[in-house]
């Protein structure tokens, strides 16, 4: 990392981008290690796509949580809200009156409702986010068990066809032992993930709201002095996070096709860990949205590697904890090596829009102040 700074003495990387870079390098290294140790399985494209296919809900949740963490808050209710959404959708679809679109609306509605409630309580009543989202966790879990206790398998034909729908890439794939060509498959959830990553990254990079989020997370007081509506910014971050949890719930049931009490349990812990690996700090103000999916993928690859190595499942948890420890210490060392200089919020040059766009000029000035 030191050489990286020395190569570019003029343009210092911001903390957000440095941590993102560390996460990306570690991800590439982990995948390289995986390929080196298990070439026959990790070289297949399907393995890579399956990481997305199976873990799309987690990645979506991670995105929402990332925004909340950048603004300096935390949301630990997302896993339970996701579980509640899956169960509500399953009950609705099985009741015979619902349609797939109705279930989608229900999912978004539940997510937004939780976001609105928690956002209002945290932003406008100034209650500590941990406690409120803890209450949200309890509320979602309680509603989930009240709604239905036993697993429901959705058998509605329209939904089953959606669940089994796969996008086949005919020119990419592998041959099995008999020499039959098996093309790669992608679930529709992956498309949703990619679209959401692009949308939210654009939101955080190029809109007034996104810059406000960074400003509020960096220093609430000075953001308020600059005329940023701190409360509204915080409020909307929680709404977005709730919405993401709702979407994640729908993607979850689209992948598994069943409502279950244990759905998405403890995903909030995984999401926090992914964001930490991805370089988002809990203090707020530092983080890159692209880092969170990379953090999630790193965590998942670690799990895949351990599973491929065939060690006991107890070791799996210990090794994940150990690797998290290494990441955290590495981040901490890198951050302290950079010294306690002033926090700089600048986009890398390749992400900046050309300066001839007139409507961006005003925003750029605001950014510099923030």
Q: Is 155 in the site for another protein (CB under 8 A)?
A: no
3-state secondary structure of 312: coil
Q: Is 149 in the site for another protein (CB under 8 A)?
A: yes
Q: Is 276 in the site for another protein (CB under 8 A)?
A: yes
Strands annotated E in the chain:
152-153, 167-175, 181-186, 258-259
CA proximity to 341, closest of 18, 4, 80: 18
Round to whole Å and give the CA distance between 310 and 154.
Answer: 33
- Stretch of 54-62, 190-198, 265-273, 359-367 lying at the interface with another protein (CB under 8 A): 265-273
Question: Which residues, 156 to 185, sit near another protein by CB under 8 A?
Answer: none
Nearer to another protein, 244 or 273 (CB): 273
Q: Is 78 in the site for another protein (CB under 8 A)?
A: no
Round to whole Å and give the CA distance between 294 and 23.
Answer: 7
CA proximity to 88, closest of 239, 248, 250: 250
Q: Is 269 in the site for another protein (CB under 8 A)?
A: yes
The DSSP symbol for 296 reads: H
Q: Is 285 in the site for another protein (CB under 8 A)?
A: no
Contacting residue, 29, 168, 195, 329, with another protein by CB under 8 A: 329
CA proximity to 63, closest of 188, 203, 166: 203
Q: Is 91 in the site for another protein (CB under 8 A)?
A: no
Nearer to another protein, 156 or 216 (CB): 216
Nearer to another protein, 150 or 175 (CB): 150
Nearer to another protein, 46 or 298 (CB): 298
Question: Which residues, 109 to 138, sit near another protein by CB under 8 A?
Answer: 117, 121, 124-128, 130-132, 134-138
The two beta strands, 152-153 and 167-175, are unpaired
Contacting residue, 167, 225, 309, 318, with another protein by CB under 8 A: 318
CA proximity to 148, closest of 79, 92, 98: 92
The answer to whether residues 343 and 15 touch, using CB atoms and an 8 Å cutoff, is yes
Q: Is 322 in the site for another protein (CB under 8 A)?
A: yes
**C-alpha R_g of the chain:** 21
Contact track, another protein, 205-224, x by CB under 8 A: --------------------
Q: Is 1 in the site for another protein (CB under 8 A)?
A: no
Sign of the torsion angle spanned by Cα atoms 57, 60, 66, 69 = negative
Interface contacts to another protein, rule CB under 8 A: 74, 117, 121, 124-128, 130-132, 134-139, 141-143, 145-146, 149, 269, 272-273, 276, 281-283, 313-322, 324-325, 328-329, 332-333, 335-336
């Amino acid at each position: 990392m030191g050489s990286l700074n020395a190569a570019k003495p003029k343009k210092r990387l911001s903390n957000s981008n440095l941590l993102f870079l560390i996460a990306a390098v570690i991800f590439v290294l982990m995948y390289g290690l995986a390929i080196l140790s298990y070439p026959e399985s990790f070289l297949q494209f399907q393995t890579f796509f399956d990481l997305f296919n199976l873990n799309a809900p987690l990645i979506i949740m991670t995105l929402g949580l990332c925004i909340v963490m950048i603004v300096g808050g935390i949301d630990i209710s997302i896993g339970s809200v996701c579980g509640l959404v899956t169960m509500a959708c399953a009950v609705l679809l099985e009741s015979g009156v619902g349609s797939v679109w109705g279930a989608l609306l229900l999912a978004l509605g539940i997510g937004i409702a939780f976001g609105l409630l928690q956002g209002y309580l945290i932003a406008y009543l100034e209650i500590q986010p941990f406690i409120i989202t803890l209450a949200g966790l309890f509320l979602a879990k309680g509603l989930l068990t009240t709604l239905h206790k036993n697993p429901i398998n959705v058998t509605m034909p329209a939904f089953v066809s959606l669940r089994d729908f796969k996008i086949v890439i005919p020119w990419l794939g592998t041959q099995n032992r008999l020499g039959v060509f098996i093309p790669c498959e992608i679930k529709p959830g992956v498309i949703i993930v990619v679209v959401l990553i692009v949308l939210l990254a654009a939101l955080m990079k190029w809109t007034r709201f996104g810059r406000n989020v960074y400003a509020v997370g960096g220093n609430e007081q000075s953001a308020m002095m600059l005329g940023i509506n701190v409360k509204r910014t915080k409020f909307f971050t929680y709404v977005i996070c709730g919405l993401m949890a709702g979407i994640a719930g729908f993607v979850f049931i689209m992948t598994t096709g069943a409502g279950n009490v244990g759905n998405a349990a403890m995903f909030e812990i995984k999401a926090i860990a992914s964001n930490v690996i991805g370089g988002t700090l809990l203090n707020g103000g530092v983080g890159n949205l692209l880092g969170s999916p990379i953090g999630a993928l790193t965590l998942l690859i670690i799990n895949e590697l351990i599973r491929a190595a065939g060690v006991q499942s107890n070791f799996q948890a210990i090794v994940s904890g150990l690797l998290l420890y290494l990441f955290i210490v590495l981040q901490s060392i890198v951050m302290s090596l950079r010294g306690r200089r002033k926090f700089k919020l600048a986009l890398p040059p390749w992400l900046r829009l050309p300066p001839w766009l007139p409507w961006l000029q005003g925003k750029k000035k605001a950014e510099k102040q923030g």
